[in-house]
């Protein structure tokens, strides 16, 4: 068990709401976090068939069994239980009674907002960030091993070879989670689609091209991306375009949350292959975006992140709006800083004038090198120090 940055926010919400819901991908550490944070609460998993049947067939009796409160795992297995939970916590709204977890939210978010609006806090737990991973004694200390192994905690906690664990994870994801929402006959096609998406990480989404390559329709490609997004495999980074006079490309970028899963799907068998791999830069970019997404989500914040690119002009890999400050971030996998890393920052203030974004802009270049330096155009940030940007 390593310390997770989400724990203080979890305790805070449990002191305010009778129900707290934690979503996130499978194996991100939700159960471990809840049991460590609330060791005195009864733990019950709806993955167990007999427990799930009890909750399905007699929801009132099930909740009466845990009247004093509980950690209820995999709540998405019995989403209708939330309707009965609403009446229960209305009758006894003691803060922190129920802690619910859901490893995918295909319908969970909608069920929570409909049944528990105003009665619950909602948090997201993703796999550990770089700082959290450092608490494992076997955590890698070089960039390519970090990218290749990814961040799922069981790889480190159980010393399971990363490639083997990620292969099993991908198979389980398709066979269990995806099976619930698409026809069984589509699973093989979905597996191919998943690999095609891995080859497009850090690229703008073109549904027509993606659908054509996968042999599916534009609408099916859109639906399958939504499945991947709601199960925390990917997220879409929207383009910033409001009130900008120049023509700006408005397609969102696709980013995988876990670089290790991307490497597995692309058939990268060892860290050394990344050094000369044509997608090294894209994998690194998605890793950086994921790290900065986690930095906000694990504080209980809603990440407010964009990318910026004109059709003929400057491009910024990542913009993070912090309210009083805008972080403009270029992401380069190279280990040696080049003047080319900084060239687009000079255009940004003029492009974003009168757009509603903060006037205070901090420029950063996150790169694959070891030294962080303050340059005249921007702060040069080593991959080791990526989380320092948002402190």
Q: Which two tokens stand for residue 155?
A: 């790889």
1 within some domain: no
pLDDT in tens, 346-361: 888 887 777 777 778 9
Phi-psi region of 362 (alpha: psi -120 to 50; beta: other; left: phi over 0): beta
Residue 246, pLDDT score: 47
pLDDT exceeds 70 at position 105: no
290 and 165 inside one domain? yes
Range of the domain at 176: 130-390
15: in domain? yes
Q: Using CA atoms, how far apart are residues 287 and 295, in angstroms rounded to an integer? A: 12
Which of residues 84, 106, 124 is at a domain's end?
124
Mean pLDDT, the chain, whole residue set: 91
Tell me the C-alpha distance between 193 and 213, whole Å: 9
Q: What is the CATH number of the domain that holds 89?
A: 3.40.50.300
Alpha carbons 353 and 111: distance in angstroms, whole number: 40
Report, as an integer, the average pLDDT of 15-26. 94
pLDDT band per the 50, 70, 90 thresholds, residue 367: very high
Residue 309: the pLDDT is 86
Determine, yes or no, domain membership for 2.
no
The answer to whether 312 touches 233, Cβ cutoff 8 Å, is no
**Model confidence band, residue 288 (pLDDT cutoffs 50, 70, 90):** very high
Query: Within 38-99, where are the H helices?
Result: 49-57, 59-65, 81-91
Please spell the DSSP secondary structure of 309-377, one letter per residue. Answer: EBTTS-EEEEEEE-SS-EEEEEEE--SS--GGGGTTGGGHHHHTTTSSS-S-EEEEEEESSS--EE-SS
Counting the structural domains of the chain, the total is 2
Range in 63-67, 124-128, 172-176, 330-334 with the lowest mean pLDDT: 172-176
Q: Among 344, 335, 336, which Cα is nearest to 364's?
A: 344
Q: Which pTM was predicted?
A: 0.94
Contact assessment for residue 335 and residue 222, using Cβ atoms and an 8 Å cutoff: no
Q: How many residues make up the chain in this entry?
A: 391
Q: What is the pLDDT of residue 311?
A: 77
Could you please report the per-residue DSSP string of 167-190? Answer: HHHHHHIIIIIGGGTS-GGGHHHH
pLDDT digits (tens, 9 = 90+) for 335-345: 999 999 999 89
At 353 the pLDDT is 75
354 lies in the same domain as 381 = yes
Using one digit for the tens of pLDDT, what is the confidence trace for 58-78? 999 999 999 999 999 999 888
Average pLDDT over residues 238-263: 81
């Amino acid at each position: 068990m390593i310390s997770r940055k989400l724990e203080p926010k979890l305790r805070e919400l449990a002191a305010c709401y009778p129900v707290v819901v934690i979503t996130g991908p499978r194996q991100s550490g939700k159960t471990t976090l809840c049991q460590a944070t609330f060791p005195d609460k009864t733990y019950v998993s709806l993955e167990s068939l007999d427990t799930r049947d009890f909750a399905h067939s007699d929801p009132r009796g099930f909740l009466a069994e845990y009247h004093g409160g509980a950690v209820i795992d995999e709540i998405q297995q019995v989403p209708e239980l939330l309707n009965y939970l609403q009446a229960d916590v209305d009758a006894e709204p003691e803060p922190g009674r129920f802690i619910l977890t859901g490893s995918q939210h295909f319908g969970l978010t909608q069920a929570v907002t409909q049944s528990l609006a105003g009665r619950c806090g909602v948090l997201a737990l993703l796999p550990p960030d770089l700082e959290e991973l450092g608490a494992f004694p076997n955590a890698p200390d070089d960039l390519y091993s970090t990218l290749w192994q990814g961040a799922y905690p069981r790889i480190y906690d159980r010393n399971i070879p990363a490639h083997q664990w990620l292969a099993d994870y991908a198979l389980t994801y398709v066979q269990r989670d995806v099976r619930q929402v698409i026809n069984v006959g589509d699973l093989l096609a979905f597996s191919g689609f998943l690999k095609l998406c891995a080859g497009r990480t850090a690229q703008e989404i073109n549904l027509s091209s993606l659908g054509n390559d996968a042999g599916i329709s534009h609408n099916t490609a859109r639906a399958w991306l939504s499945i991947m997004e709601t199960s925390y495999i990917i997220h879409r980074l929207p383009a910033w375009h409001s009130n900008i006079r120049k023509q700006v490309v408005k397609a969102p970028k696709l980013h995988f949350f876990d670089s290790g899963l991307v490497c597995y799907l692309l058939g990268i068998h060892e860290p050394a292959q990344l050094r000369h791999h044509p997608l090294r830069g894209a994998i690194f970019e998605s890793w950086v975006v994921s790290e900065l997404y986690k930095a906000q989500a694990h504080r209980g914040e809603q990440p407010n992140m964009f990318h910026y690119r004109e059709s003929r002009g400057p491009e910024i890999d990542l913009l993070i709006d912090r309210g009083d400050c805008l972080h403009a971030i270029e992401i380069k996998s190279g280990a040696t800083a080049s003047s080319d890393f900084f060239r687009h920052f000079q255009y940004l203030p003029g492009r974003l004038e009168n757009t509603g974004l903060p006037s205070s802009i901090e420029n950063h270049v996150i790169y694959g090198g070891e030294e962080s330096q303050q340059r005249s155009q921007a702060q040069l940030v080593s991959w080791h120090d990526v989380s320092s940007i948002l402190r």
